Amino acid sequence: MTDTAAATATTGSNPSFTELVDGVRETFNSGRTRPMAWRRRQLEGLIKMMKVHEQEFVDAIISDLGRPVLEAFSADIGHARLQIKYVLKHFEQWARTEKVNPGLLSQPGTAEIIKEPLGVALIIAPWNYPVQLLLEPMAAALAAGNAVVAKPSELSPASASVLSRLIPQYLDNDAVVVVEGGVPETTALLEEQFDHIFFTGSTNVGKVVMTAAAKHLTPVTLELGGKSPTIIAKDADLQIAARRVVWAKFMNAGQTCIAPDYVLVDDSVKDRFVDLVTAAVRDFFGADPKSSPDLGRIVSPRHLDRLVGLVAGGGGTTVIGGEHDRDTKFVAPTVIVDPDLDSSLMTEEIFGPVLPIVSVSSIDDAIAFVNARPKPLALYIFTQSNSTADLVLARTSSGGACVNHAVVHILPDHLPFGGVGPSGMGAYHGRSGFDAFSHHKSVVRKKTRPDMPLLYAPYGGWKEKLVRFVFR
């Protein structure tokens, strides 16, 4: 696997990837991926690739998702580039062996933690942020010294094609392989034995990945989803809350795993908040959102049909939006007030530009509502009271959270990003990503002298007394 063609694999209807994975594993076992210089070259290659081919990536994302240029660049290329630069700056420090206190029982001696690469990592990326969500975990895996098999999503074909063509030009072809294809290829890849599987996608497919990984006892990082709630307290700055929720919800046409899925708003401010939300939608996307250059499109007709069905069966009052065009994959920014809580709209992840707003009587009511449902990937609370924010954070569980904003907890390099419970397991970004693809190996080093007779039989007498004294 030394040329471009060999580093990008496609197969027929009954694919087998054993030879491909064995080849990548042979490279890893040779020790080639372990030196810091090799890791640095790969990270620098990713950064250079994104810089040189920035417009190709932007054009591909626009082709796949109809995003405005600003979103195509910032949410995929810009975000990934900054994250990889951060990893490049710090990975050698993270990789250093840590000396720790060996404790009394290991004296004389030393204790240390060695950061060991896991081996061959499989990264399965989604379609909604096709560049960012492939390259960021790939950078973490490479920084930790692993070899990588990468599977971009077939639902973002233009982006997958660019990634498959460019990655072999900038990275080590023997250690990094891109596999194109659909469900048969992904299913076949999951039959192979990897040392770590990193998957971003839906909870249902995450269960499939975890089941496949269990056959080989392969550790997994699952970046999943769920219904991320937004709570609007009665003391919130309603105008700011409305604009930030609308921005976060309708970015990428709502196809963001941490987008606000629904809003819980205090009864006393509901009408005012709804008015401000509809005003923000008109302000951002105009009277005719279909002609707005700032609104993305739905990834496929099938996903559009699903969204239309959610709206049709959701009940409640549609205060803005509701229009769609299957031919252009357009769904208008839609706001539905007080939908049927038992409908699919309120029980399934929406993943589109539809925002339900639900009335609650108090913060306690909102907390109970959230806790009666599966743990979400994110939670957002808008309030001017620190004690209210702290109460919500203390009494709910979510992968991440923001106070007085939404989705921006993905931005700080130092913060781990991940879910909890059905919204995911494991985390990445910054050092957390490096650690996700590393084994922390504990090592104790001893001298051959003195050789403690306490360890050896026969026991009893002074040995027992000394052991009891030490463990007192």
Q: What is the pLDDT of residues 220-246, one digit of tens each?
A: 999 999 999 999 999 999 999 999 999
- For residue range 295-306, list pLDDT tens digits in order: 999 999 999 999
Is 223 noted as a catalytic residue in this protein? yes
**E-strand spans in 153-304?**
176-179, 196-200, 220-223, 229-232, 262-266
User: Which candidate, 178, 173, 131, places its Cα nearest to that of 150?
Assistant: 178
Phi, psi (rounded to 5 degrees) for 358: -120, 135
SS3 content of the chain, % helix, strand, coil (to 5): 45, 20, 35
- Mean pLDDT for all residues in the chain: 95
Residue-wise pLDDT for 407-444, tens only, equals 999 999 999 999 999 999 999 999 999 999 999 999 99
Distance CA 322, CA 357 (A): 15
Q: Which of 136, 180, 223, 349 is catalytic?
A: 223
Residue from 136, 185, 192, 257 carrying the catalytic annotation: 257
402 catalytically annotated: no
Lowest mean pLDDT among 140-144, 251-255, 315-319, 449-453: 449-453
Which whole number is the average pLDDT over 379-406? 99
Q: What is the pLDDT of residue 38?
A: 99
pLDDT value at residue 24: 98
Contact 55, 69 (CB under 8 A): no
User: For residue 155, how many C-alpha atoms fall within 13 Å in the half-sphere facing its CB?
Assistant: 18
Domains, the chain, ranges and CATH?
4-224+422-441 (3.40.605.10), 229-418 (3.40.309.10)
pLDDT band at 285 (very low <50, low <70, confident <90, very high): very high
pLDDT by residue (tens digit) across 69-105? 999 999 999 999 999 999 999 999 999 999 999 998 8
